[in-house]
A and B are shown apart, each in its own frame.
Chain A
């Protein structure tokens, strides 16, 4: 498909319009995050200073952090800091939260991308199969599989996977991103599998991939169930449309009818769900990383929860929400690209 300049212009305008619409919502997100972080029981200055700090130190911190000012002023200060990428300083690590997050981001990205690949790679074919073989054994099995999927506690599934594949079968490693004896590949993206691939280090690649497999599967299962379900139902709806009859009447093969004519139409609702389910994926990452000791943002935030490290918790929450909003914006744009009846 050729993309003329006019098309790109309208696309850009569309993105800008969506951003303008999202601005109040994004502002609301910061307000809510700010309010939550100020609803902490106890004195935030005391928390930052630590339990053994002297009265003067606490007062000092209160003043330097602006905690003695009225709430709106504090919020303004918070927003100002945010615009400079200042998410506060972690109580636990004494480092800026943004730096912490930056360190943990690649591991989470690697895990979530791998899960997404698994989900789409398995979920779409499974959904299509169930729709085409509607009301057969295959369809019923898929239904059972997806009902169980959306009902399984992720953390429990992780433990069960560990029990079977690590403890009993011993096929896969149970924690971390690499064997302790192995050096991390040269850092390019920070995602070990990708870096190892780029460096051509096959041994590291195999090792990193084997560590990735269980957590990625664990994280993808819920999501997989959702995707399979939506692909199935949208595919069934599309297969009943008149243009499918036309395609068949035109003598196209069944494979072409399903994989070209029906599939692209069924992608329209699917894409929306993929964006919305990104939230599930982030929630799941918190639990999965904890179970598999995967050193990503999710494990970071759970460790912070246990330490009541509020700047870290709120920094994570804010970053994830912003990412969530951006992913859904991207999905909207993609949606418009797939569906020509949408006008920018």
Chain B
């Protein structure tokens, strides 16, 4: 097994709100190797985006605060870097693309202006060289008339074009890791596939790792190598894609997979009852227990640890810990 490119260990993040301190990430651990695409799935508000932003140290402080943990990237702890050193990581070693490409591009500058700015900063290119470079990048994400595109403003492009521009911009300095925060959610279904294809291609060509955040299990199946499932700020299960779909261990993962429309001819759309818990006062023990149909005695008392149950498969659930608990039953 090769060295980990990114290794997040025990990361806890809180946000101060009017209601109190929300524990948005609780001892989150995950890792990525070079060239690997890791899907990060979970419901809205489960902390996926906060995790991605914490890696780049982009959560607003205050109200946010990174309490503990390490974010090792290429053997360096990003949390220990100076602000200046961190800036040279952002966009150059680790890039990020967002859900809404229209609002993620600055409306008052041309595409060229924004792309060149980055290339000149990180690659030290001159104006003309930067222009060449950016046009080449746009061509690589299969955008025609790259030179003309550089003179356009974001609002003059379609949604799919904008997201490709974003990808071209974020890949322009050759990052080793791309954080993609729901990159296709705001796009038409037909365009979604193209964008995912481009991300996959580029990852393969550059041996670049991708952390693909999504709430769509379909996207995961289509694109990723491995998956991490998050629930209410906790990673509950990690596995390879094949393993996860074949043998989902955590009841929440099972619920997610069952809720995919059109699977196994289930006529009625399945949902997981209940809502995501309030993170200011999270449920004691396992955070999923109030919604869990397989709940056992210890679930509301003891927090399950993420433990390995197979090759590249780990789960945080008392049911899977290998020790049969008293009074547990399957429905």
Contact = CB atoms under 8 A, between A and B. Distances in A.
Interface of A: 241-243, 245-253, 261, 264-265, 268, 338-341
Contacts of A253: 87
Interface of B: 53, 56, 58, 87-92, 95-96, 98, 100, 103-109, 117-118, 121-122, 153, 155, 166, 169-170
Given A246-B98, A250-B90, A251-B121, A265 B107 contact: yes
A249 B107 contact: no
B92 A243 contact: no
Contacts of A251: 87-92, 118, 121-122
B91 A249 contact: yes
A242 B109 CA distance: 14
Contacts of B89: 251
Contacts of A261: 106, 109
Given A250-B118, A252-B121, A340-B155, A243 B107 contact: yes
A268 B89 CA distance: 32
User: By CB atoms of chain B within 10 A, which of A250, A340, A341 has the most?
Assistant: A250
A256 B87 CA distance: 12
A253 B104 CA distance: 17
Nearest to A242: B103
Contacts of B104: 242-243, 245-246
Contacts of B90: 248-251
A339 B169 CA distance: 22
Contact of B108 (A242, A247, A249, A264): A264
User: By CB atoms of chain A within 10 A, which of B103, B106, B153, B166 has the most?
Assistant: B106
A243 B106 CA distance: 5
A253 B121 CA distance: 10
Nearest to B100: A242
Contacts of A248: 56, 58, 90
A250 B106 CA distance: 12
Contacts of A247: 106
B87 A243 contact: no
A94 B106 CA distance: 58
Contacts of B117: 250, 252
Nearest to B107: A341
30 contacts: A242-B98, A242-B103, A243-B104, A243-B105, A243-B106, A245-B53, A245-B58, A245-B104, A246-B96, A247-B106, A248-B56, A248-B90, A249-B56, A249-B91, A250-B91, A250-B95, A250-B121, A251-B87, A251-B91, A251-B92, A251-B118, A251-B122, A252-B117, A261-B109, A264-B109, A265-B108, A339-B108, A340-B108, A340-B153, A341-B155
B309 to A, nearest CB: 35
A249 B169 CA distance: 12
Nearest to A265: B108
B96 A338 contact: no
A261 B107 CA distance: 9
B103 A243 contact: yes
Contacts of B118: 250-252
A242 B104 CA distance: 5
Given A248-B58, A251-B91, 16 more contacts: A243-B103, A243-B104, A245-B58, A246-B96, A246-B98, A246-B105, A246-B106, A248-B90, A249-B96, A250-B170, A251-B89, A252-B118, A252-B121, A265-B107, A339-B108, A340-B155
A251 B84 CA distance: 9
Nearest to A264: B108
9 tightest A-B CB contacts, nearest first? A251-B91, A251-B90, A250-B91, A242-B103, A243-B106, A340-B153, A249-B96, A242-B104, A251-B87
A73 to B, nearest CB: 52
Contact of B153 (A242, A250, A252, A341): A341
User: By CB atoms of chain B within 10 A, which of A243, A247, A339 has the most?
Assistant: A243
Contacts of B98: 242, 245-246
A339 B105 CA distance: 14
A246 to B, nearest CB: 5
A252 B116 CA distance: 12
Nearest to B57: A248
A241 B109 CA distance: 15
Contacts of B88: 251
A253 B88 CA distance: 10
A248 B122 CA distance: 13
B61 to A, nearest CB: 13
A114 to B, nearest CB: 30
Contacts of A339: 107-108
A242 B98 CA distance: 8
Contacts of A250: 90-91, 95, 117-118, 121, 169-170
